[in-house]
Amino acid sequence: GAVVSQHPSRVICKSGTSVKIECRSLDFQATTMFWYRQFPKKSLMLMATSNEGSKATYEQGVEKDKFLINHASLTLSTLTVTSAHPEDSSFYICSAREKQGNQPQHFGDGTRLSIL
Amino acid sequence: QKEVEQDPGPLSVPEGAIVSLNCTYSNSAFQYFMWYRQYSRKGPELLMYTYSSGNKEDGRFTAQVDKSSKYISLFIRDSQPSDSATYLCAMSDISGGYNKLIFGAGTRLAVHP
């Protein structure tokens, strides 16, 4: 149980392109979803927390106009990297918590984004 | 000083060895403790989680929390090559709960046949 699916797993695109990443909870309803960024051989850095039906809460230093987050349903959150540049290249990982009970976060398999 | 300290390794052990992975922390308010396993180019996979102190066992894995020493451990018995991965500890306090996790840097483990 508690499977989180993230798509796509790999994106390579030109500078200036906007990229959308989807995060789905497959077998549970997720009131809260999270978006992280991970640099090579580094730990996870929380970018934002999204609650279904409300605006995302961004961590300090994360540009909300650059990283648009939508959490329109209890099973889907999306992260759109707008006008991506090479410095946005990274490994982006989402996670979700079940609506019921006090359970930890379960993570997706990440999206490797490369901006040329 | 980082809130959570974790030796990045790499830690190399022979197959069948008992592996001990550790994290220390400075915030005495931490109550939630988790261990995640992350294979290369994959997302973290939840292995164990505990609330407050004590031990928890699941198959070959045992998680220990020593709040008096601000020290948590993950033991892997009869280690296998498939256990080769990066192990991340994570923790949070009551106000953050499982929402506001503080991660360690991760320890890379290599189990060789």
The closest alpha carbon to B4, from B24, B21, B22, belongs to B24
Residue B17 is given by DSSP the state -
Nearest-angstrom CA–CA distance, B53 and B72: 9
**Which residue's entry shows tokens 């979803």?**
A33
Residue among B34, B88, B99 minimizing CB distance to A43: B88
pLDDT at residue A103, as a whole number:
87
Q: How far is B45 from chain A (nearest CA, A)?
A: 7
Query: Would the CB atoms of B101 and A46 count as touching at under 8 Å?
Result: yes
A101: Cβ contacts below 8 Å, ≥ 6 apart: none
Nearest-angstrom CA–CA distance, A52 and B14: 46
Nearest-angstrom CA–CA distance, B93 and B51: 10
Which of B4, B103, B108 to substitute to test the interface with A, most A CBs within 10 Å? B103
Tens-level pLDDT at each residue, chain A (116 residues) = 789 999 999 999 999 999 999 999 999 999 899 999 998 888 899 999 998 888 899 999 999 999 999 998 999 999 999 999 999 999 999 999 987 778 899 999 999 999 99
Please give the mean pLDDT across all residues of chain A.
93
Nearest CA in chain B to A101: B98
The pLDDT confidence band at residue B8, using thresholds 50, 70 and 90, is: confident
**H or E stretch covering B51:** strand B45-51
pLDDT at residue B58, as a whole number:
94
Nearest-angstrom CA–CA distance, A41 and B12: 17
Please give the mean pLDDT across all residues of chain B.
94
**Which residue's entry shows tokens 């991340």?**
B88
B17 touches chain A (CB under 8 A): no
